[in-house]
Structure 1
Amino acid sequence: MEHTPEEKPRSTSPIKPPRKRKRIVISCTECHRRKQKCDRESPCSNCVARNKHSLCHYENESARKQQLLEDSASTASVNGGAFSVIKPNEVDQVAQFTAFGYNKSNGNNNTTLGLFKKIQTQDADPSGQMPRIQADLPDQSGLREKYKSLIRQLPSKEYIEKLLPTYFREVNYQYYPLDEAVFRDHLANWHSLSFSTLNRGPQELSGDMRFFPALLFQCLALSLQFQPLEYDPTLDSLKYAAGMTFDDLANDYSESSVSILTLLGKRNTTLISVQAGFLRTAYLKNVGMVTESWHSLSQTIRDAQEIGLHKDSMLHSRSPDAKPEDVLESLWIEQLRRRMWLILSLWDIHMAIVLGRPTTIDPRDGKPPFPIDAPIPRNRREVAPTPRTESDIPTPLTMLLWSTEVSAPLWDIFNLEKEDPHQNNFAKVEKMHKLINQITFHCPPFFRSQNPDLTFDALPECYWLPRARPVFQNNAAFTIMALHRPYIFTNAASRTSALKAGLDVLRAQRTLFNLLSSLHYKTFSLVLNTFDAIILIAAVYILHPYENRSDLDNALQQFEWGKERFQMMSSRNAMAKAALGVTKAIHLRWKRALNLPQKPSPSPSLTPDTYTANSTPTSQYPAPPSHNQSISSTSSSNQTQSLYTLPTISNLTSPPPTSTPTWEVPASAFQPPQTFDFSSMPPLQPMHDLVYNDLGSNIDSSSYDVVGAWDLGGIGPGGAMGPASAASMLGSLRAILGVIVFGGL
């Protein structure tokens, strides 16, 4: 039977089942169901965006991992692979080489990287082949989600705009680490980022934008620290728990900043991350975490060195096809880099002298040029940095530069303490003292504490200028105090100079305090500077009670005003509360040592200071007996050596023993063993004791208000004294004078 063409023969074979899909499903079940492209992470980005973390799983986990490895290998082969061959002049070769930790900004050609660059320069053969060095990148799994979870903690744009003015008006002018115009540009760029861009993770952002949230968090934390008592009530909406304070919220913001910096690592550090690190250092100091602040400063300096802030980057050539406006803007950024390094250098030497710790910066490495004291332009892309003239208004940078001038001798003082451990080179000390006075003599008239030029004070942009004058006076006085401090045990002239410098510090601190409001009470320089000067002055009079009596009335009055400031700040400043108890105890000890009345006359409130730098009030206290000598002077008489315990902060603030020792000596015996070598005394640091030994932890400051509540008669002259070896005397002196000025920082 023949079949017509229209008819098809029927197959007698059985129907085969449809072919199964051979390709293994490597997408997660949710993406496969929704027919979406999956990035094969765990959980994937699509499930995270839909808040379906729990539903994101894979049918074949081993196949997913194998596919990820194949994709990575494919990408590596396109980019050259781990062992591909590249030309010596390839742009990213040095960047790959620095993965081993070499600093590409270092101009030293003696390092391995320097030799590598030399080989590149000499090898002109284009056929020369060198293996590509691939950096072992850290594990990026979860980086995107961790970064997003941190930036979600930023408040909305509305609250950011409410908080930032507080930072730029009350905080930034003090050291001027940020240029507000540059910061505002970065903030605008951050707000313009789309969600899809942020969703791709920090690696998709530019270096500055990647670190900018860390800087923003620190600015907001400092803004919250300096909120006035009558703050904007809408800011309470930022508190997410009952009983939460702005201090708690500021701590959260600052810690979020640290988390971002830690998450992003050190390999792509930028100027933004250095600025964030410095603000973190300032924040820690304001909350009294001085040790942590010092460590933070050291790490920030290392970050700054990583990006070459310690070198003059202007030496690098610019692209010949760069636009003029881009070149002008880069000039201003270079000025900002120089300014940031200057601030870090200033803090480094101050904290080293105050805390008795080593500096992080080695001055032998040299320093880049100072930033130019240039007026701030409206548009950085139109005007080049040019030095300001006498008619131009001063800026906070002007104050920073002059503060650096008066603080520059601190490096020499720091080295002098090492070069002259026995305090013999007093001629050099006198010469340095004269040079420091010359610096302050040539400062601009608008920074002078006596008869200043008030021309610019009425300008709105110079609101900070009246506050800058006492700060400048404080910094200059601190430098002189630091210079003479190691010599106060061996030289009477140094005792007088240190005393007068301490009085200058207290005057400057009182003037500054009167210009501030309660929102500034958390500024720890108001506590530390005052406390340092108070302890130094008290120690000079306690150890040498019959010297400098013409300044005694002034010193006691400044002491009272200092305690009054501590009392006012103690409710908002934990360090002020601790310092208050210590100073009250030492005040009683001071007056007992000088046989002064225990009930002082009511001191004036915080009104304009009635004492000036040249005033010499008539003393109301009895003159010293003519036969008494300073404790450092030698006696030609053959009187018996008496046992003497030098005063310490510890024994000034601790109750005496209950039983009277059997080795009491007459009250008139006020001589230490004359064989003790005071020149062997290392520099003293009472501020170190207050910070690290927690002197105020066991002190009830209210107990000092009642005279005689503690029997201080058993301490020092006029009471029972125990035998002390030279070693214990050394430790005692270190304790009483351990408080050095916290350098105005």
Structure 2
Amino acid sequence: MNTNGRKRVSAAVDSRSRPRRGRKPTSCSQCHARKQKCNGELPCSRCNQRGVPELCQWPETKKTHTTASERMTSAADAQGTELGQLYIARGAPSFFGNSYFGHQVAARMIQESAPDLPPMSLLSSKDSLQSFRNDSGPFSQVWDLLGLLPRNKVTVDRLIERFLTEINWAIDTVHPETFRSQFAEFWGRKFGFDEIAGVDLRWLALLFIILAFSVLLDSPTTSSPEKRKESEEASLRFYWAARRAIVISPSFHGESLDLVRAGLMVTRYLLYTRQAAESWLTISFAMRMAQAQGMHIDGEKWGLSRKATETRRRLWSNLYLLDKTIALALGRPYAISDHMCLIKAPENVWLDGLTDEQSSMATAHPLSYPTGSTVTLLGSGLAKIAGEIQDRCFGLYPASYDMVIEMDNKLVAWKDQLPSYFAVDDPDLSLDEMHTFLPWHRLYLHSAFHFARITLHRPYLLRESITNRFSLSHEACISSASSDLKIRLQSLNYGTAENMRWTLGTHNMFNSAFILGIIAVRRPVAPQTAAILNDLEEYCERLRKDVWLNEFGLAEVKVVELCILRTTGLAKNTDQPVDQAPMSLQEASPDLITQEHDRYPMVTTPMNVDSTAPDASPGQTLGYSPDMMWPAVWEDQNFAFPQAADIETWEQMISEIAYHT
């Protein structure tokens, strides 16, 4: 090497060994990323306010020169660091691991001098400013979303408090104190570019979906129809804003618990509005965001604190239950595969509000003592059985009836191990006054159990056997559907907040009234049919009185009323004793069918096989052909209920079942 070359190398080494020129750091890494003032303490006041004092770090003032061998050794040591210690926090922590982001990204995160900063924060101010000023840039999306928030802080405060006091404690959405402090910090920011870049869209998505629920709670049922319509439109705007924020937030940040919570609440919103098919998409997306943070691996494996581990377990259990039950209801594949997960059920302990040190010493309670975590602990067990039912009874290959009996035994065993305050039959209500969440958690578990059992036995409801082989399915469907309808009738007397708590469970995607209606159509003069019809009529009447009933709920009412109409018409035109087999539709008088068609032209179709068109040949019928054989379709294990709004399909199915009675 010549003299000039040696000088250049020596200068390069000296430049690396000398400290960089420039301003000394005046903020911790968290405040620097948010462009906020820092009081210079460790931890600083803002990190304490955000509840993340352990993340408050200060950059080193100078770097020392290391040899190549030392750098290689330190990199090998970094890769051996527990991946559970790698997380970022811009309001809500994200989780990184080489199994979820790829080994190259994980290695880079480990070796970075400031691993608590997300990749987007590494953008220079100049590049960020250009993106913000560009209408097609990502920061313009943030500005548009912020424009959807109410301008008055008092209004937003009131809506948040309505949700926290009316809904949050029943479905375990957010920690109230933490969410309030996050909102106060969010609202106290300065408007402009310096603060727009620090807005956490993951948390903003959660705020929007909470406002979507709250704006409905804030409007009483006694308000005018115009006022209620305005509330519904405002709710939908917040709902769509939440979905938009969920979709674009990964462009700014990594995944976070807040983003998973937002996806979970979007799914519950769709269940509330009876849009089960679309909820299948949103729960899958929420699950992927959870898996990206390693939530399908238990927090103990990551070395997380007990409090963080229990929080993740509860959130994962809620995702798990919704994923399994929605997939079972729709006959679609579920997203969570048990053999790809290593997660424990939540313990029967409530750690929210405790410090990490207090949480580590807290003792889990026996099942005889209810906590806010008990429902998720028991619900995860039921969800596992629901997933097994779909695998073994509704898979690609037909299942034997012995398999159905085996799955029913598992459901009954789950029911029998419930604590007395959650018992399906004659529960102990003495603890309800002390624990206000118990009635709602009991409702969620009971309705989910009835849903799973009805779905398991539904293909065998219409099957007959000379040996009475399918009597278990007949009895199970009638028993669970009747019990579930009883719960619904008791719940429809409540106000807006109570009805919303009721509809946020998994059961609102399935209506047991459909099953009872089919049972009544199948046996119009059976001894229990009159009582079934009375309950169904009462159910429809109460639903029609609900001022918040949307078009999806109204479609369910029409389907149930169609079952009532068919059953009543058949029962009135038979002289058979009630203990004999029901009359088939061929024996119904043509006058009755004509009257039904004139009275209900939108939901009825003449089905008498003897009715022919003037120019039709003998045997050619009006209405639906017996070749459709809906009873056989019903018995197909791959068949799932059509959407209630598909009134023509329901009409055809009910008519064909009545025809073949």
TM-score, scaled to structure 1: 0.60
Task: Give the whole-Å Cα distance in 1 for the aligned partners of 2:509 and 2:394.
Answer: 27
Q: 1:284–1:290: 8 Å Cα contact kept in structure 2?
A: yes
Counterpart of 1:248 in structure 2 is 233
Counterpart of 2:536 in structure 1 is 559
Q: Deviations over 1:209-244 (max 9, x none)?
A: 4522221121111111233516999xxxxxxx9997
Q: What is the CA distance between 1:311 and its match in structure 2? A: 1.3
Task: Give the whole-Å Cα distance in 1 for the aligned partners of 2:245 and 2:395.
Answer: 43
Counterpart of 2:444 in structure 1 is 471
The number of residue pairs the alignment matches comes to 531
**Distance 1:590-1:664 versus aligned 2 partners, 3 A rule:** farther
Q: How does 1:296-307 map to 2 (within 5 A)?
A: 296-307=282-293
| AA of the residue aligned to 2:259 | S
Indicate whether 1:160 and 2:146 are aligned: no
Q: Deviations over 1:135-167 (max 9, x none)?
A: 998985024454244234333432222112321
Counterpart of 1:322 in structure 2 is none
Q: What is the CA distance between 1:279 and its match in structure 2? A: 1.5
Task: Give the whole-Å Cα distance in 2 for the aligned partners of 1:259 and 1:365.
Answer: 29
Indicate whether 1:492 and 2:470 are aligned: yes
Task: Give the whole-Å Cα distance in 2 for the aligned partners of 1:228 and 1:316.
Answer: 45
**Distance 1:622-1:528 versus aligned 2 partners, 3 A rule:** farther
Task: Give the whole-Å Cα distance in 1 for the aligned partners of 2:515 and 2:155.
Answer: 45
Task: Give the whole-Å Cα distance in 1 for the aligned partners of 2:303 and 2:580.
Answer: 73
Counterpart of 1:321 in structure 2 is none
Indicate whether 1:579 and 2:550 are aligned: no
Counterpart of 1:591 in structure 2 is 568
| AA of the residue aligned to 1:502 | A
Indicate whether 1:417 and 2:417 are aligned: no
* Aligned equivalent of 1:220, options 211, 220, 223: 211
* Aligned equivalent of 2:379, options 377, 386, 403: 403
Q: Deviations over 1:62-119 (max 9, x none)?
A: xxxxxxxxxxxxxxxx9xxxxxxx8585569999xx9xxxx953559xx97389969x
**Distance 1:587-1:430 versus aligned 2 partners, 3 A rule:** same
**Distance 1:665-1:542 versus aligned 2 partners, 3 A rule:** farther
Counterpart of 2:273 in structure 1 is 287
Task: Give the whole-Å Cα distance in 2 for the aligned partners of 1:596 and 1:396.
Answer: 54
* Aligned equivalent of 2:302, options 305, 308, 316: 316
Q: What is the CA distance between 1:526 and its match in structure 2? A: 9.1
TM-score, scaled to structure 2: 0.67
Task: Give the whole-Å Cα distance in 1 for the aligned partners of 2:417 and 2:164.
Answer: 29
Q: 2:202–2:259: 8 Å Cα contact kept in structure 1?
A: yes
Task: Give the whole-Å Cα distance in 1 for the aligned partners of 2:366 and 2:521.
Answer: 47
Task: Give the whole-Å Cα distance in 1 for the aligned partners of 2:105 and 2:239.
Answer: 42
**Distance 1:371-1:421 versus aligned 2 partners, 3 A rule:** same
Task: Give the whole-Å Cα distance in 1 for the aligned partners of 2:323 and 2:207.
Answer: 24
Task: Give the whole-Å Cα distance in 2 for the aligned partners of 1:403 and 1:717.
Answer: 35
| AA of the residue aligned to 1:463 | T
Counterpart of 1:147 in structure 2 is 142
Q: What is the CA distance between 1:344 and its match in structure 2? A: 1.1
Task: Give the whole-Å Cα distance in 1 for the aligned partners of 2:548 and 2:443.
Answer: 24
* Aligned equivalent of 1:363, options 335, 338, 343: 338
Task: Give the whole-Å Cα distance in 1 for the aligned partners of 2:581 and 2:256.
Answer: 66
Task: Give the whole-Å Cα distance in 2 for the aligned partners of 1:571 and 1:242.
Answer: 12
**Distance 1:621-1:203 versus aligned 2 partners, 3 A rule:** farther
Q: Deviations over 1:399-444 (max 9, x none)?
A: 2322333343111110123458444x22232232223222222212
Q: How does 1:297-696 map to 2 (within 5 A)?
A: 297-317=283-303, 330-376=305-351, 378-384=353-359, 386-389=362-365, 394-418=370-394, 421-423=397-399, 425-459=400-434, 462-490=435-463, 492-493=470-471, 494-514=473-493, 516-521=494-499, 524=503, 529=508, 532-543=511-522, 549-569=526-546, 572-595=549-572, 622-625=577-580, 653-656=603-606, 659-660=612-613, 663=618, 681-686=636-641, 688-691=642-645, 693=646
**Distance 1:287-1:89 versus aligned 2 partners, 3 A rule:** farther
Q: What is the CA distance between 1:532 and its match in structure 2? A: 2.8
Task: Give the whole-Å Cα distance in 2 for the aligned partners of 1:243 and 1:592.
Answer: 38
Q: 2:524–2:582: 8 Å Cα contact kept in structure 1?
A: no
Q: 1:531–1:579: 8 Å Cα contact kept in structure 2?
A: no
Aligned CA RMSD, in angstroms, stands at 4.9
Task: Give the whole-Å Cα distance in 1 for the aligned partners of 2:657 and 2:285.
Answer: 47
Q: 2:221–2:496: 8 Å Cα contact kept in structure 1?
A: no
| AA of the residue aligned to 1:343 | N
Task: Give the whole-Å Cα distance in 2 for the aligned partners of 1:679 and 1:253.
Answer: 39
Residue 332 of structure 2: SS of its match in structure 1?
Answer: coil
Q: What is the CA distance between 1:567 and its match in structure 2? A: 1.6
**Distance 1:114-1:210 versus aligned 2 partners, 3 A rule:** closer
Task: Give the whole-Å Cα distance in 1 for the aligned partners of 2:521 and 2:391.
Answer: 29
Q: What is the CA distance between 1:587 and its match in structure 2? A: 1.0
Q: 2:346–2:376: 8 Å Cα contact kept in structure 1?
A: no
Residue 528 of structure 2: SS of its match in structure 1?
Answer: helix
| AA of the residue aligned to 1:219 | I
Q: 1:225–1:247: 8 Å Cα contact kept in structure 2?
A: yes
Q: 1:542–1:594: 8 Å Cα contact kept in structure 2?
A: no
Deviates more, 1:478-487 or 1:491-500: 491-500
Q: 2:263–2:286: 8 Å Cα contact kept in structure 1?
A: yes
Q: 2:404–2:457: 8 Å Cα contact kept in structure 1?
A: yes
**Distance 1:486-1:477 versus aligned 2 partners, 3 A rule:** same
**Distance 1:244-1:87 versus aligned 2 partners, 3 A rule:** farther
Residue 644 of structure 2: SS of its match in structure 1?
Answer: helix
| AA of the residue aligned to 2:265 | L
| AA of the residue aligned to 2:268 | A
Q: What is the CA distance between 1:718 and its match in structure 2? A: 9.2
Indicate whether 1:172 and 2:156 are aligned: no
**Distance 1:470-1:298 versus aligned 2 partners, 3 A rule:** closer
| AA of the residue aligned to 2:644 | L
Q: What is the CA distance between 1:506 and its match in structure 2? A: 0.9
Residue 265 of structure 1: SS of its match in structure 2?
Answer: helix
Indicate whether 1:113 and 2:130 are aligned: no
Q: 1:446–1:452: 8 Å Cα contact kept in structure 2?
A: yes
Q: What is the CA distance between 1:481 and its match in structure 2? A: 0.7
Q: Deviations over 1:26-81 (max 9, x none)?
A: xxxxxxxxxxxxxxxxxxxxxxxxxxxxxxxxxxxxxxxxxxxxxxxxxxxx9xxx
Q: 1:213–1:257: 8 Å Cα contact kept in structure 2?
A: yes
Q: What is the CA distance between 1:269 and its match in structure 2? A: 1.4
In structure 1, stretches of 5+ residues that fail to align are: 1-77, 79-85, 122-132, 234-240, 319-329, 598-619, 632-649, 700-711, 722-732, 734-745
Indicate whether 1:195 and 2:197 are aligned: no
Counterpart of 1:53 in structure 2 is none
Q: Deviations over 1:277-300 (max 9, x none)?
A: 222222233334443332222211
Residue 287 of structure 2: SS of its match in structure 1?
Answer: helix
